[in-house]
Each structure stands twice: as structure tokens, then as C-alpha cells.
């Protein structure tokens, strides 16, 4: 089936063949008409493909890319990564799927944005330290953004993210995919319908890494690889300059970047899945917890926070048979779920009655699919806000990041979600932002 992409109707494998000459094959960019040009007010025409670029082709990025190229209404035209091996893997994945050699590759996403005027939207799956910075720059360049979680590394980044989404009118979705999955949707509907009675406590799985809070390892310098193989300065981005060591480049185990304070949060790294889910289902995704209780033994006791309506959230290590679990406890029962569950666990079988009708009714009421990426693509076309837009990413990450600060400072904290400031705590307020290494800023 052909799709109209301007004045010519061309097939899926044919419309990328017209390539612009550039300074080397790696930067030859397909000449295509952006699908948004065929719609109104930035919307994508319903019979055209969404032209996309992919930033980051590591583990999660490659997973997402393989999903994207199988979507009939998406055309991936460019991949970007600071590591040559990943760029080449991303290009090979795209070219093999489309039966061409046309996928452009970039080391610096700023060059992709400069050359890629045809691109409607981007997937951002680079390291956590990059998510907010890249999202803001991409929205400012006129691109809709699906960014993997966590959405931000600091509270100030979240504020910048919300501002950019509002000012540019772009679609933003933080990649909390469980928010669209049937089991978790059902749990949210159970709360909305009052099936548990008054909910007083929710529990969120906070991952498996045992060092809280995270610190920065000091490793000996190793010879820098050629910048074409790995651009170390660009890999670091906004973070403080440190000597190159190959151990930092992998995510884990320690001292991989996922374990380092400069590059990722502590609770924030995992709570971007589970705490977001709790707040979304509670109807509190546009605010943040107000009271944070310090604990010296977080693995044993968990960490408790409270919202203004009195609901307690406990972040804890165990309690589920799978990862990314949540549990909601009310006066009339409880419900829990994690990855790998066939259906949520419940205090009474009656709570699971009409599971399928409830999911169907949710889809009919909201118009949203049970697929987070499809929700994003649908919103790119309709311009309807995504399920987890910038405000949700920011406000739920604020809860996570305030928990991290509570651990770092070793004292209780009180947060004012209206003023977006800690109450009577100058030191905590000073740490709502981090200094960004030039030239990065948002």
C-alpha cells in the first residue's frame, strides 16, 4: 500500500531513495516531506507515516527501535549515538527492515536536529543524564518527543521540561509504559471506581541496587578512544568532566553509569516506573508528596512519604514476584501487580470481576490504547496530550528526587508543591538543580 508523502505517492521502501548529498555517507539524509506538513496545526495527516529519528541505540533504545520499525505508520530515517558500534547497529536494524541503505547516522543529536527538518518526532533513549536536556532541545526544534524514563535528573530540569512542552506545543510522553498496560490500567480503574474503599497506603518497588544514595567512583584514567568510536565529551554531556574509563560507559554493574550519582538518581532511577504509577492511579500525578521521612535502613524499613490528602507511599525493595511492582491498600481490600503477573493479585476474587469489560470501558472512555508507544503516536496525529506528558513526568519525578535528597541530607523534608520549594530548608532548595557543564543548559 502506498502513502502520500507530498506530491508523489511512493512505497514504503521507495520514498527514502532520494538522498541528499552530504559530507560523507554517514550524514547523507533522506529527502522526505514531514508528515506534519500534510496536516493542520502541526498534526500528522492520517494517511501518512510519522517520520522519526532515534537518539540512543543501547539496550533500551535498540529494543524500542526494533518495535518502531515494525509499525506501518512510522518511518525511521535516522539514528544517533555517540558510540560508533551502536550507530552502525541501529542503521543495520533500520536498513534491514526497510530493504534499503538509507538510514542516516549521527554522532551528535544537534546535527540530526539541524539536518533533519523532515523529522516529525524523536525517540530519546540515551542515558538518564540526557533525557530532559535532549527533550527540551528537541521540542524547541519542533519535534514531538517520546523520552525513556526517568524524565529528569533534577527538579529544575522538570520545570524546564514542562515549560518547553507548553511553549512549543509539542507532544511529550515519558516512557512509563506500564501506565498503558492492561494490568496496571485495571488497578487504576479499581481505585477510580472505589473498589478498595478509601485508599490509605500504596507501595512501590524501588529496584535492586543496594547502595543508597549513590556516590561517584574514582577510577584511573584510560586512553581515550578516537572520538568517532566514542565521543567521551559528548557522552558526559552536562555532567562534570571526569577522566575516561571504559567501566563508566556500561550501565552496570558498579561502577557503570547507572550506579553513579553524576549520571543517575537513586530512588529516582526506579521510582520513575513505580512511583509514577502510584501517583497516576491515585489521581495525584500533577502534584508531589509533601512529607518525606528519613530512614537509616531503607532496605529493611522502606522509605515513607505522604501526600497532602494523607495517603502514604512506601518505597520498598521486596514484596512482589516480579519487577516494577505496586500495591494499593484500602479500607475494603488491596490489589497488587508487577511485571510477569498474568493478572493482578487481590485480597478478594471479587475485585477481579469484569477485568476485560473494565479494560474495554477504559479504552472507550479515554480513547487510549493499551500500548504506551501507540498512545504517543496517536497523540502525534491528534495533538491530544499524551497519557504521561511533561507535567506528569516532572511532578512524579519531584517525589522521587525529593526522596533522594532526604537520603542524602539524612533528615526529614517538607515540600510545598505549589511553590515547588522545600519548606524552611535552604540547603535542600539549593539542590533542586545541578550546575551543567558548558555548553549545556536548559
CB 326 within 8 A of CB 205: yes
- The pLDDT, as a whole number, for residue 5 is 33
- The pLDDT, as a whole number, for residue 268 is 81
Residues 199 and 50 in one domain: no
Among candidate residues 134, 154, 178, the one where a domain is terminated:
178
Residues 96 and 189 in one domain: no
The number of domains in the chain is: 2
Judge whether residue 40 has pLDDT over 90.
no
Residues 163 and 271 in one domain: no
Spatial separation of the C-alpha atoms in residues 68 and 53, rounded to whole Å? 10
Judge whether residue 148 has pLDDT over 70.
yes
Spatial separation of the C-alpha atoms in residues 365 and 371, rounded to whole Å? 16
3-class SS of residue 355: helix
In whole angstroms, how far apart are CA 58 and each of 65, 79, 84, 309, 362?
10, 11, 11, 40, 34
**pLDDT category of residue 8 using cuts at 50, 70 and 90:** very low
Judge whether residue 181 has pLDDT over 60.
yes
What DSSP element (H or E) covers 331?
A: none
Instruction: Indicate whether 164 belongs to any domain.
Output: yes
Spatial separation of the C-alpha atoms in residues 173 and 113, rounded to whole Å? 19
- The boundaries of the domain holding residue 147 are 3-178
- The pLDDT, as a whole number, for residue 279 is 98
Query: Counting beta carbons within 10 angstroms of the beta carbon of residue 41, is it exposed (0 to 12), middle (13 to 18) or buried (19 or more)?
Result: exposed
Residues 317 and 190 in one domain: yes
Q: Are strands 144-147 and 121-124 parallel, antiparallel or unpaired?
A: parallel
Residues 129 and 86 in one domain: yes
Range name among 114-123, 148-157, 200-209, 243-252 with the lowest pLDDT average: 200-209
* Beta partners for residue 328, in sequence order: 202, 335
Residues 69 and 114 in one domain: yes
CA angle 120, 125, 127 (to 5 degrees): 140
Identify the CATH number of the domain in which residue 345 sits. Answer: 3.30.360.10
In whole angstroms, how far apart are CA 374 and each of 38, 90, 94, 177, 279?
20, 21, 19, 10, 22
* 153 alpha-carbon distance from chain centroid: 11
Q: What are phi and psi of 125, to 5 degrees?
A: -135, 30
- The pLDDT, as a whole number, for residue 211 is 72
Residues 150 and 163 in one domain: yes
Instruction: Indicate whether 230 belongs to any domain.
Output: no
What sections of 78-204 are H helices per DSSP? 84-98, 109-115, 131-140, 155-168, 182-192
Listed residue (279, 393, 265) closest to 326, CA to CA:
279
- The pLDDT, as a whole number, for residue 240 is 97
Spatial separation of the C-alpha atoms in residues 31 and 47, rounded to whole Å? 19
In whole angstroms, how far apart are CA 129 and each of 192, 239, 351?
34, 8, 40
The residue with cell 505522604 is 306
Residue 406's contacts (CB-CB under 8 Å, 6 or more residues apart) are: 292, 293, 294, 303, 412, 413
Instruction: Indicate whether 238 belongs to any domain.
Output: no
Mean pLDDT rounded to a whole number for the chain:
91
Identify the CATH number of the domain in which residue 159 sits. Answer: 3.40.50.720
3-class SS of residue 19: strand
Instruction: Indicate whether 365 belongs to any domain.
Output: yes
Instruction: Write the pLDDT tens digit of every residue in 212-250.
Output: 778 999 999 999 999 999 999 999 999 999 999 999 999
Instruction: Indicate whether 442 belongs to any domain.
Output: no
Spatial separation of the C-alpha atoms in residues 173 and 385, rounded to whole Å? 9
Instruction: Write the pLDDT tens digit of every residue in 363-388.
Output: 999 999 999 999 999 999 999 999 99
Residues 25 and 164 in one domain: yes
Instruction: Write the pLDDT tens digit of every residue in 294-343.
Output: 998 888 889 999 999 999 999 999 999 999 999 999 999 999 999 999 99
Instruction: Indicate whether 246 belongs to any domain.
Output: no
Residues 157 and 278 in one domain: no
Spatial separation of the C-alpha atoms in residues 399 and 270, rounded to whole Å? 12
Among candidate residues 156, 178, 200, the one where a domain is terminated:
178
Residues 164 and 272 in one domain: no
Residues 200 and 151 in one domain: no
DSSP string, 49-107: PEEEEEE--SHHHHHHHHHHTT-TTEEEEEEE-SBHHHHHHHHHHHHHHHTSS--EEES
**pLDDT category of residue 27 using cuts at 50, 70 and 90:** low
pTM exceeding the 0.85 threshold for the entire prediction: yes
Instruction: Indicate whether 240 belongs to any domain.
Output: no
- The pLDDT, as a whole number, for residue 269 is 79
Among candidate residues 178, 193, 226, the one where a domain is terminated:
178
Residue 132's contacts (CB-CB under 8 Å, 6 or more residues apart) are: 147, 151, 152, 153, 154, 157, 158, 160, 161, 442
- The pLDDT, as a whole number, for residue 30 is 56
What DSSP element (H or E) covers 193?
A: none
What DSSP element (H or E) covers 406?
A: helix 390-409
Instruction: Indicate whether 251 belongs to any domain.
Output: no
3-class SS of residue 215: strand
Instruction: Write the pLDDT tens digit of every residue in 262-280.
Output: 999 888 878 999 999 999 9
Judge whether residue 20 has pLDDT over 90.
no
Spatial separation of the C-alpha atoms in residues 139 and 131, rounded to whole Å? 12
Judge whether residue 2 has pLDDT over 50.
no
Residues 101 and 185 in one domain: no
- The pLDDT, as a whole number, for residue 365 is 98
Range name among 143-157, 209-223, 239-253, 395-409 with the lowest pLDDT average: 209-223
Q: Of residues 35 and 179, which shows the higher confidence score?
A: 179
Amino acid at each position: 500500500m502506498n502513502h502520500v508523502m507530498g506530491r508523489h505517492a511512493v512505497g514504503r521502501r521507495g520514498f527514502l531513495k532520494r538522498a541528499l548529498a552530504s559530507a560523507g555517507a554517514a550524514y547523507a539524509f533522506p529527502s522526505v516531506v514531514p508528515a506534519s506538513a500534510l496536516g493542520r496545526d502541526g498534526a500528522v495527516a492520517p494517511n501518512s507515516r510519522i517520520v522519526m529519528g532515534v537518539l540512543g541505540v543501547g539496550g533500551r533504545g535498540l529494543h524500542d527501535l526494533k518495535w518502531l520499525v515494525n509499525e506501518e505508520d512510522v518511518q525511521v530515517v535516522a539514528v544517533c549515538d555517540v558510540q560508533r558500534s551502536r550507530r552502525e547497529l541501529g542503521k543495520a536494524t533500520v536498513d534491514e527492515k526497510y530493504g534499503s541503505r538509507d538510514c542516516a547516522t549521527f554522532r551528535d543529536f544537534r546535527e540530526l536536529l539541524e539536518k533533519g527538518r523532515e523529522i516529525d518526532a524523536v525517540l530519546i533513549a540515551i542515558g538518564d543524564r540526557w533525557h530532559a536536556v535532549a527533550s527540551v532541545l528537541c521540542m524547541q526544534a519542533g519535534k514531538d518527543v517520546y523520552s525513556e524514563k526517568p524524565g529528569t535528573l533534577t527538579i529544575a530540569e522538570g520545570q524546564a521540561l514542562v515549560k518547553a512542552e507548553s511553549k512549543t506545543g509539542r507532544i511529550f510522553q515519558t516512557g512509563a509504559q506500564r501506565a498503558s498496560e492492561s494490568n496496571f490500567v485495571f488497578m487504576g480503574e479499581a481505585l477510580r471506581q472505589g473498589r478498595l474503599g478509601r485508599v490509605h497506603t500504596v507501595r512501590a518497588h524501588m529496584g535492586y541496587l543496594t547502595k543508597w544514595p549513590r556516590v561517584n567512583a574514582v577510577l584511573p584514567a584510560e586512553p581515550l578512544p578516537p572520538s568517532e568510536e566514542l565521543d567521551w565529551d559528548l557522552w558526559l554531556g552536562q555532567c562534570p568532566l571526569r577522566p575516561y574509563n571504559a567501566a563508566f560507559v556500561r550501565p552496570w554493574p558498579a561502577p557503570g553509569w547507572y550506579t553513579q550519582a553524576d549520571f543517575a538518581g537513586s530512588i529516582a532511577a526506579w521510582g520513575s516506573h513505580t512511583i509514577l504509577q502510584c501517583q497516576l492511579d491515585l489521581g495525584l500525578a500533577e502534584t508531589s508528596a509533601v512529607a518525606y521521612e528519613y530512614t537509616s535502613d531503607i532496605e529493611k524499613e522502606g522509605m515513607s512519604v505522604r501526600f497532602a490528602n494523607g495517603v502514604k507511599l512506601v518505597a520498598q525493595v521486596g514484596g512482589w514476584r516480579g519487577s516494577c511492582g505496586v500495591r494499593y491498600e484500602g479500607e475494603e481490600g488491596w490489589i497488587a501487580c508487577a511485571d510477569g503477573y498474568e493478572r493482578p493479585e487481590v485480597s478478594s476474587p471479587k475485585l477481579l470481576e469484569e477485568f476485560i469489560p473494565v479494560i474495554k470501558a477504559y479504552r472507550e472512555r479515554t480513547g487510549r490504547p493499551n500500548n504506551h508507544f501507540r498512545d504517543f503516536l496517536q497523540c502525534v496525529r491528534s495533538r491530544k496530550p499524551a497519557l504521561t506528558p511533561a507535567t506528569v513526568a516532572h511532578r512524579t519525578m519531584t517525589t522521587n528526587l525529593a526522596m533522594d535528597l532526604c537520603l542524602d541530607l539524612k533528615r526529614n523534608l517538607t515540600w510545598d508543591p505549589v511553590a515547588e520549594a522545600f519548606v524552611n530548608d535552604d540547603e535542600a532548595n539549593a539542590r533542586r538543580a545541578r550546575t551543567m557543564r558548558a555548553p549545556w543548559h536548559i
